[in-house]
Structure 1
Amino acid sequence: MAKIPVIEQCTVSYKDDKQLLADRLDVYLSNNRNLVFPHRHNFYHLVLFTDGAGAHEIDFKTYPVTAGQVYCMGPGQVHSWMFEGNMQGYILNFDIDYFKSLLLHPDYVENLALFSSLNESVFNLSTDTLAEVIPLFNQLVDLKYSPAEVDVKRALLLYILLKLEQDYIPSFPRKTMDYQMLLIKNFIALVDQRYKELHLPKEYAELLFVTPNHLNGVCKEYLGMQAGEVIRGRIHLEAKRLLILPDWTISQVAYELQFSDNSYFTKFFKKVEGMTPEEFRKAQWK
C-alpha cells in the first residue's frame, strides 16, 4: 500500500550542505518543480513569502499566500502548494539535529511556539520585522558551505527563528513552562505516539501520573478543549491524511487506526468532519 511520500532533506537539497538548505523561493521552486503533491518532510521547513499568489495547504487547511506571510512546519505534517504567478521569498529546510552540537538544550528549537503542534504556525510579519529579517535571510542564503561557516550559519538561522518567534502570537495563551505546561507538552507527545492504540483520556492520565479530571482541567485552561478532543483531533487528522491515498480502502484506514469496524470509524469521522470518509475522499480528489 502506498504511503504519503516523506521527502528527505537530501532529495530536495541541490546544494552541498545537506543539513540546511537556505535559498530564494523562486530558485527552490525551479529546482523542485514536481513538489506540488501532498507530502511530508522529515525535517523542519519554513517559508517567507514576499510576493506571489495562490495558496498552500497544511494538514488540510488552506491558506492564501500574502506578502510578508511566514509558515513553519515540523516533521510529519502534510502539505502541498497551489502557487500562482511569480513566487518570491525565502525557504529554509533544516535537519532535526541541526543545532545538536551548538545548543546546551538540543530540543530548544522543538520547544519554540513556531514549531509547536499546539499552534497554527502561519502568520504575517509586522512591517518592521519584515524589513529586519529580509537582510538576514539574504545573508544566510549567500553564505557558502564550508566547515568554517557551519556555526555562523547555525547562529544566523537561530537568530532568524528567534526574531520570527518574537513576532508570533500563538493560538493558545502563552504561559511560562511551568508544571502544567510541561504536562500539556508531554500529553501532546504521548498522543502523537499512541493515538492509534489509546483513545481515552484516562489511559493517558495514567501514563502521566495524574487523574483524568486534572488532565481535562489543564487541557481546558491551556488549550481551550478537553483531553478527549485533543485525542480525537489527532485521530481525525491522521484519518484525513490516509484517506487522500487513492489505493487505500476505507476498511484499511479504519484498520490502521485500530477501529473495531468500518461503521464505528465512519460514525466517528462524520461526527468530527461533518461528512463521511467517502464524501471527504471525493471532495479531495474531484
Structure 2
Amino acid sequence: MEKTLSLTEFYKTSLGILPSEIIGKIGQFNVFSLSDFITDPKAPVPYSRKDYYKISLISGSNSVHYADKTLEVEHNMLLFANPQVPYNWTPVTRNLVGEFCVFTDDFFKGYGNFKAYPLFQPGGIPVLSLTDDEFNQVRDIYKKMMQEIASDYVFKYDVLRNLVMELIHTALKLRPAIITPLESTGTHAAARITGLFLELLERQFPIESTMQRVKLRTPGEFAAQLNIHFNHLNKILKETTGKTTTRLLAERITLEARALLKHTDWSISDIAWCLGFEDPSHFVKFFRKNEQTTPGAFRG
C-alpha cells in the first residue's frame, strides 16, 4: 500500500503549487472541476489512504475500490472518502464530468462533528448512485462552492462549510435508509457515549506500519477508558446501534484485517500483532469466525 497522501502532497502533485490562501487557522479546503485532473481515463487514482476528506461527484462509468470492496457504477455517483479507509476509482469511459472538494479535520474545527454522519463511517455506504435529476441537484451545490471560493467575501469559508454540510444532508435525504439508529432514535446521553466509543475505536486506525498496534482491544478496556461499567456500555451500544460492544469491535477489526491482507505484503503474524492478537493462531481463529475463511485463503 502506498504511504498516506497528505493534502499538501495532493496539491503539489496535482497542481504543482500549494495555494497559500487556504493554509492556516481555517484549516484546508478547495473545490475542483474533474475535467482538470483526468488526463488518461484508463489510469486509476492511486490506491492509498489520505489524510483528508474528499467528496466527489462524477458522471460516467467507474469502478470504485473501497477498503476490500469493489463497486461498479454505470452512470452517476457521489463518493464520500475518509482518511480511515483506503480507496481508488478507475474511470471506464472518457469525457467524465463532475467536481470534487477536499478538506481536512481542521476546516471543521469548532463547527460540528461531520464525522458522525453515516456517510463517513467505516462499514457505511460511501458511494451513492444518482439519477440525472439527483446529479444536477448535487452539482448545483458544487457550482455554489466554485462561485464562493472565487469570491472576495471575507466570510466565504463559513459559507463553504455550510455548503459541505448541505452536500452531506442532501445525500442523506436522497438515501434516508442509510441513516442509522444512532441518528434516528438515540437519546442525547446515549448518543454522546456511543460517539465517544466510536471515536476511541477509530483513533486506532488506520494501521499504516508494522510498528503500530491497537491499544484498546476488548470491551472492558473501552468501558474503563470511558469510566463506565461494561454492562452499561454494552446496553447503550445495543440500543443506539443494534449491535453489542463485542460485535462492533469485531466488525472494525475485521474491516482493517481485510484491508491489510488485501493491500499489504505484511505477514499474517505482523497483521495479527498490529491488530492486538498475542498469538497469530488466535487471529486466524477470529478471522475464520467472522469471514468463514482463513486469512491466507482470503489473501489468495
Q: TM-score surpassing 0.5? A: yes
The answer to whether the 8 A contact 2:44-2:91 is kept is no
Q: Are residues 241 and 167 of structure 1, via their aligned partners in 2, closer, same or farther at CA, if it must alter by over 3 Å?
A: closer
Secondary structure at the counterpart of residue 216 of structure 2: coil
- Identify the match of residue 119 of structure 2 among 95, 114, 118: 114
- Provide the residue aligned with 2:3 in structure 1: 5
- Identify the match of residue 58 of structure 1 among 58, 66, 71: 66
Secondary structure at the counterpart of residue 210 of structure 1: coil
Q: How big is each residue's C-alpha offset from its partner over 1:22-81, in whole Å with a ceiling of 9 and x where there is no partner?
A: 1122322339986534211101111112x2113212222222224443121222221121
- Provide the residue aligned with 2:101 in structure 1: 92
- Provide the residue aligned with 1:48 in structure 2: 57
Structure 1 window deviating more from structure 2 (227-236 vs 80-89): it is: 80-89
What residue ranges of structure 2 are gaps of 5+ in the alignment? 206-213
- Provide the residue aligned with 1:230 in structure 2: 248
Q: In 2, Cα distance between the equivalents of 1:34 and 1:106?
A: 37
Secondary structure at the counterpart of residue 97 of structure 1: helix
Q: In 2, Cα distance between the equivalents of 1:279 and 1:143?
A: 51
Give, as a single letter, the amino acid of the residue that structure 2 aligns with 1:58.
Y
Over the aligned positions, Cα root-mean-square deviation in angstroms equals: 2.9
What residue ranges of structure 1 are gaps of 5+ in the alignment? none
The answer to whether the 8 A contact 1:119-1:171 is kept is no
- Provide the residue aligned with 1:138 in structure 2: 143
Structure 1 window deviating more from structure 2 (167-176 vs 215-224): it is: 167-176
Q: Are residues 63 and 95 of structure 1, via their aligned partners in 2, closer, same or farther at CA, if it must alter by over 3 Å?
A: same
Give, as a single letter, the amino acid of the residue that structure 2 aligns with 1:96.
D
Give, as a single letter, the amino acid of the residue that structure 1 aligns with 2:240.
Y
- Provide the residue aligned with 1:249 in structure 2: 267
The answer to whether the 8 A contact 1:114-1:121 is kept is yes
- % of aligned pairs identical? 24
- Provide the residue aligned with 2:288 in structure 1: 270
- The answer to whether the aligner puts 1:191 opposite 2:209 as a matched pair is no
Q: Are residues 27 and 136 of structure 1, via their aligned partners in 2, closer, same or farther at CA, if it must alter by over 3 Å?
A: same
Structure 1 window deviating more from structure 2 (115-124 vs 220-229): it is: 115-124
Q: How big is each residue's C-alpha offset from its partner over 1:84-138, in whole Å with a ceiling of 9 and x where there is no partner?
A: 00222211111221244xxxx3344334443344742332457665433323312
Q: Are residues 40 and 150 of structure 1, via their aligned partners in 2, closer, same or farther at CA, if it must alter by over 3 Å?
A: farther
TM-score by structure 1 length?
A: 0.82
Give, as a single letter, the amino acid of the residue that structure 1 aligns with 2:278.
S
Q: Are residues 150 and 122 of structure 1, via their aligned partners in 2, closer, same or farther at CA, if it must alter by over 3 Å?
A: farther
Q: In 1, Cα distance between the equivalents of 2:66 and 2:203?
A: 20
